[in-house]
Amino acid sequence: MIKLSIAALAGLLMVSSALAESILVGQLAPDFKLPDQQDKYLQLSDLRGQWVVLYFYPKDETPGCTKEACSFRDNIGRITAKNTVVLGVSVDDAESHSAFAEKHRLPFKLLSDKDGKIAEQYGALRNLLFLKIAKRHSFIINPEGKVAKIYRKVSPANHVSEIVSDLDELQSQVD
C-alpha cells in the first residue's frame, strides 16, 4: 500500500510539473506584481512597449547565479540598446536581493517571489520537500506582453550571449 501511495504521489508531481511548464511561445506572459531589491513593487504589464528578459534563478550569492547575474551586468548596455529590460527573479527576500545587487553592482531589478507563486506560473519552481527554489529558466517577452522565447536549459556561462543573439533575431522579425 505504501509503495502504491508513493507511486501515485510521484505521478501527481510529474503531472503538476508538466502542467506548470505548459507556458508556450506566443502566449500572453502571466502578469505579476513583485517587490524589487528596494522593496518597490513592479508589475510586469507596466513594461508593455518594451522587450523584457525575465530570468529565474535559484539563489543569491551562489556560484552559478552570481556568474549569470554578472554576465547580465556586463552586457546590460547591449541589452538596453535593444529597448529591453532585464528582471531577475528568485525566492530570496528583498533584503537578500539588495545585498546581492549592491555587492555585484547589478544595474537591473531583482524581484522577490518569496512564496514561489510566480515561478510556479512560469514552470520555474522546484519543490524540494520543505524548500522551494526557482529553476534556472528564462523568458523573452515581446512589447505586446507575449512570450517570444523560452529557455528551460540554461548555462550561466553562455546564456546572456544567447539572449542577446536571440533578441537580435526576434527584433529583426518585427521590423
Report the alpha-carbon distance of residue 166 to residue 140 in Å, rounded. 9
In this structure, are residues 56 and 92 in contact, taking their beta carbons and an 8 Å threshold?
no
d(CA 14, CA 113): 23
Neighbours of 114 (CB within 10 A): 14
pLDDT value of residue 136:
96
**pLDDT value for 21:** 56
Q: What is the pLDDT of residues 17-33, one digit of tens each?
A: 444 457 889 999 999 99
For the stretch 149-167, pLDDT in tens is 999 989 988 999 999 999 9
The superfamily in CATH containing domain 2-174 is Glutaredoxin (3.40.30.10)
Q: Is residue 72 within 8 Å of residue 87, measured between CB atoms? A: no
Residue 65 among the catalytic residues? yes
Residue 94: pLDDT over 60: yes
Residue 142 reports pLDDT greater than 50? yes
Q: Which pLDDT score is estimated for 174?
A: 75
So what's the pLDDT on residue 22? 72
- With a CB cutoff of 8 Å and minimum separation 6, the contacts of 18 are none
pLDDT tens by residue, 65-86:
999 999 999 999 999 999 999 9
Q: How many CA atoms lie within 13 A of 92 on its CB side?
A: 24
Q: Among the options 29, 44, 53, 65, which is catalytic?
A: 65
Q: For residue 175, name the pLDDT band (cuts at 50, 70, 90).
A: low
Supply 169's cell numbers: 533575431
DSSP run (H or E) holding 10: helix 2-20
Phi and psi at residue 130, in whole multiples of 5°?
Answer: -100, 10
Q: Could you state, in order of their start, the residue ranges of all structural domains in the chain?
A: 2-174
Q: Confirm if 110 and 134 have CB atoms less than 8 A apart.
A: no
138-141 and 51-56 beta bridge pairing: antiparallel
Q: Where are the beta strands (DSSP E) in the chain?
A: 33-35, 41-43, 51-56, 84-90, 109-112, 125-128, 131-134, 138-141, 147-151
pLDDT of residue 66: 96
Q: What is the pTM of this model?
A: 0.86
pLDDT tens digits, residue range 119-140? 999 999 998 888 899 999 999 9
